[in-house]
């Protein structure tokens, strides 16, 4: 009397199966350019270059310190408002870029991001 081992036979048949291939392979979508990232990169590059130029030598550091310490209250407020205005301009520009990218993106689902107008809680 011979006992047959069916497990070996089943493994061979499982390995001989071929995986299914998709009938139509769609081309890969072109990667989206992230303009917001480019703007932030340029901003950081500009700020770093400006700081390096302004603080690169001891003489320049002393001149900058003298200028900051001798500013009047009006000059300090004007400088602060110019810096705040530049930040708001950049944030607004990035918001416009983001909204334009969302309009152009065909696969952006409507429920991916919660609406800003929905109440919390």
Q: Does the residue 55 lie in any domain?
A: yes
Distance CA 41, CA 47 (A): 10
Look at residue 65 in the predicted model and tell me its pLDDT. Answer: 92
Max mean pLDDT range (5-14, 23-32, 70-79, 102-111): 70-79
CA distances from 65 to 26, 52, 70, 75, 77 (A): 61, 15, 8, 15, 17
**Who wins on pLDDT, 121 or 90?**
90
Look at residue 78 in the predicted model and tell me its pLDDT. Answer: 96
Q: Does the residue 67 lie in any domain?
A: yes
Look at residue 4 in the predicted model and tell me its pLDDT. Answer: 58
Q: Provide the domain limits for residue 62.
A: 34-103
Q: Does the residue 12 lie in any domain?
A: no
CA distances from 13 to 3, 6, 17, 18, 113 (A): 20, 11, 7, 10, 48
Q: Does the residue 27 lie in any domain?
A: no
Look at residue 76 in the predicted model and tell me its pLDDT. Answer: 95
Q: Does the residue 14 lie in any domain?
A: no
Tell me the per-residue pLDDT of 63-113, one tens digit each, with 9 for 90 and over: 989 999 999 999 999 999 999 999 999 889 888 888 888 887 766 555 455
Q: Which residues 6+ apart lie within 8 Å of 60 measured at CB?
A: 53, 54
Q: Does the residue 48 lie in any domain?
A: yes
Q: Does the residue 78 lie in any domain?
A: yes
Structurally, the chain folds into a number of domains equal to: 1
pLDDT reading at 19 higher than 70 = no
Tell me the per-residue pLDDT of 45-55, one tens digit each, with 9 for 90 and over: 998 998 898 88
**Who wins on pLDDT, 85 or 114?**
85
Look at residue 40 in the predicted model and tell me its pLDDT. Answer: 85
pLDDT reading at 11 higher than 80 = no
Q: Does the residue 109 lie in any domain?
A: no
CA 56, 61, 62, 68 dihedral sign is positive
Q: How distant is the alpha carbon of residue 2 from its chain centre?
A: 68
DSSP-derived secondary structure for 19-77: PP--SSPPPPPPPPP-HHHHHHHHHHHHHHHHHHHHHSSHHHHHHHHHHHHT--HHHHH
């Amino acid at each position: 009397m011979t006992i047959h081992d069916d497990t070996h036979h089943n493994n061979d048949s499982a390995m001989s199966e071929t995986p299914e291939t998709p009938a139509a392979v769609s081309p890969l979508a072109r990667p989206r350019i992230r303009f917001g990232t480019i703007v932030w990169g340029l901003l950081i590059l500009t700020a770093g270059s400006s700081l390096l130029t302004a603080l690169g030598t001891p003489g320049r550091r002393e001149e900058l310190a003298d200028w900051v310490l001798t500013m009047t209250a009006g000059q300090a407020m004007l400088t602060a408002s110019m810096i705040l205005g530049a930040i708001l301009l950049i944030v607004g520009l990035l918001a416009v870029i983001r909204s334009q990218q969302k309009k152009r993106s065909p696969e952006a689902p409507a429920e991916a991001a919660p609406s800003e107008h929905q109440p919390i809680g």
